Chain A
Amino acid sequence: MSERATESVGQSTAEEQFFKDEHPANRPAETGDPMGMTAESAPGDPELMLTILVEEYASLGMNADEIMRIFDDPFYGATANLKRLLGEDRIRTRINEVVQNCGALRVSVRS
């Protein structure tokens, strides 16, 4: 930890702050805290994002089950976050709707 980071968390040491058994999202904001949240709310439609991501993967040739697997994997941030936000049922329904519309185009590649 750099000197500045230690200073910015006030009384407690940097170590105490970092390892506090508390989820960072629930911590109160602190001025100068290098871990502080800087997010701003922005107008965006997660439903539209979901539809478009599913369309992209359907047009790459993935079927409904294969697309669902991208949403199940916690290491795929975009899709995993959508699933957490909208719920598994909503995702599954949307995938089925889109795939029914698009079909799954299979892309063949020969190197």
Chain B
Amino acid sequence: MSPIQEPFADGVSLAHRLDPRGKIVVAGLFAVSVAVAQTYATALAGLALALVCLALARLPLKKVGARLLVVNAFIFFLWFILPLTYPGDAVWQFGPFTVSRQGLLYTGLITLKSNTIVIALIALIATAPVNTLGQALQRLRLPDKLCHLLLFTYRYLHVLELEFQRLVQALKIRGFHPGTNLHTYRTYAYLAAMLLVHSCDRADSVYRAMLCRGFHGKFYSLRIFSWQPRDRVFGAVSLLALAALLYLEWRGAGPL
């Protein structure tokens, strides 16, 4: 087990150096535009844009592939259900099942759109550490409570994970071998219970440590966000690209 990592957050590429506030806004607008798209033209154009962003971020393609695999594992199940249940012209029939052309097209579109959005998010959002994102959201005037929720969720995920590692280590050094017996089940039950209790305790301690250092409900950031010329260019180009997407969608609007 390795601690929770942010494999895409470190880097010096253009996508990493852009102001996170701009990236969040653009990624949000892009995700919505692609998500509502009804035509292949829009989705394909979106995919091309997302790939451009990905190229700008110069991320390790293998790891990006691994992420996409996870997403597509979910979509994989759609391929079993949607083509069979979506009403439309039959292209293939076996027994009681009919595969419809519209169903296939629709599932394809969903697959395309999901991958496009995930690629864009990897290129724009995952290229900033979660803490920076939280601070950027705060600067974007999102309610403090929501930002804290994000930052603390992330922070305590670490706590949970470290606590889990510690417990597993404690098991290991005492020669624990999992098997199919009561001893194993009981040990796992203890592990789960202790994980919960320890994590609560640890979360308490962390909160105490924060209180001792004058925490009063507000996070200050060491990071000074600065809006550079490159951010202006990025913003302008993105707006144009989004407009183009919307134009494509408007022109090709209508059912499949």
A binds B: no
A residues with a Cβ closer than 8 A to B are none
